[in-house]
Amino acid sequence: MVSVKIYVEGGGDTKYLYTQCCEGFNKLIQNLGFKGLMPKIIACGARDKAYGMFDTAMKSARENDEYPMLLVDSEDPIALGPWEHLKVRDKWDRPAGAEDEQAQMMATCMETWIMADHEALRKVFGSCLRHRALFPISDLELRPRQELLNALQSATNDCGKNRVYSKGKHSFQILEELNPKSLEKNLPYFRRFKETLDRHL
């Protein structure tokens, strides 16, 4: 049986963040309906390191009966195929033998996924959340990543110094609370991620 491994951008700076990142993605994938069929999540830290580890894994994937996947922020709205986008933006070459669906992206960033579930944000931040500062859920994957981050920080600005949204500190906690049905309905690239897992788990 082929083992699926997902090389994820983020969470690799400290042991705590590594653990939080893996737990966040594991919980979200379990909630997608894959409990008992889970891939292995590998938090890689910087996006270049995630690509490098994925590229290395591809070289021995067949002999190890593994199906590596890369999961990174697209950073910019996507107008090309997955590997074409990553080649233009990051100068990454498509590894030999890599399929289109082995390149998975959070378009444009993890904050897109977080913004797509206002209920999860209310659950985490409570009554201090300024709902009117959040973006509508439609067309979120076309929003620039800095706009999304700014909106989440504005929406949580009344929650106190240590509770204003920040990458890493809050993102992985919220990831565990997300309703994947909302993301699947409203985010085409999240839906693509789920459909790829359906085919390989």
pLDDT tens by residue, 42-88: 999 999 999 999 999 999 999 999 999 999 999 999 999 999 999 99
**What distance in Å separates the CA atoms of residue 110 and residue 114, rounded to the nearest whole number?**
7
pLDDT attached to residue 126: 96
pLDDT confidence bin for 164, thresholds 50/70/90: very high
Kindly report the number of other CB atoms within 10 A of residue 25's CB atom: 24
pLDDT band at 11 (very low <50, low <70, confident <90, very high): confident
Residue 170 has a pLDDT of 87
